Amino acid sequence: DAGVIQSPRHEVTEMGQEVTLRCKPISGHNSLFWYRQTMMRGLELLIYFNNNVPIDDSGMPEDRFSAKMPNASFSTLKIQPSEPRDSAVYFCASRQQAQGAFFGQGTRLTVV
Amino acid sequence: AQSVTQLDSQVPVFEEAPVELRCNYSSSVSVYLFWYVQYPNQGLQLLLKYLSGSTLVKGINGFEAEFNKSQTSFHLRKPSVHISDTAEYFCAVSRVQGAQKLVFGQGTRLTINP
């Protein structure tokens, strides 16, 4: 398996623009997580899905953030409109019950 | 709810010296425990995990960790570190039953000096 695949690896966008981050989890994993990592706040869980259903989105900072998982092999995290304080590395991870989560390489987002 | 405290934000050690990175957790239910490593500009990589059974768990790159239920700790150890072990290390916890989310500590930056 190629592991968790995220795209793009880097994204630079202007404030106010829409940003869409994509994730392909490992086949067979039933949980998917979106994390955000910054120097100030460390690793924050934004939202997680179980069997494609959002279970806990309490970490989503604002209504500008939304996430979807239309099927077991694809998820998106969207920010609309983006702001400079959204600049961070966004990680997607997937997990099978009772196992560790596997992380993608991350998307480094810069909003200017 | 579960929480994780990594007691040291930074740990500097000399090459070939032993190291221990400390992790304490809080939970009212049974948990799984994990250690992850993050090298610069990379994602997190699973080092080792405790699910059940033996409290001493061995992982990749010569690391091991010991689960201590009475002290609610899961400290990571390596008897002799190498320059290549320089990285950020994260301890994480999840419930055995119910919600599958992983809760992470704030991380410990391990710096190996020659």
Residue B58 has a pLDDT of 95
B53 pLDDT more than 90: no
B106 to chain A: nearest residue by CA?
A42
With vertex at residue A73, the alpha carbon angle to CA B42 and CA B37, rounded to the nearest 5 degrees, is 20
How far off is chain A from B17, nearest CA to CA, in Å? 28
DSSP-assigned letter for residue B85 = G
pLDDT 10s digits, A16-70 = 999 999 999 999 999 999 999 998 888 999 999 999 999 999 999 889 999 999 9
**Dihedrals φ, ψ of B80, to 5°?**
-155, 115
Q: What is the torsional sign of CA A53, A59, A60, A62?
A: positive
B7, B106 contact by CB (below 8 A): no
Residues in chain B with CB shorter than 8 Å from the CB of A48 are 100-101
Taking residues B83-88, report their average pLDDT.
Answer: 96
Average pLDDT, chain B: 93
Q: In which band, very low, low, confident or very high, does the pLDDT at A97 lie, cut at 50, 70 and 90?
A: confident
Q: Decide which of A62 and B90 is more confident.
A: B90
Average pLDDT, chain A: 94
Q: Is B40 on the interface with A (CB under 8 A)?
A: no
How far off is chain A from B89, nearest CA to CA, in Å? 12
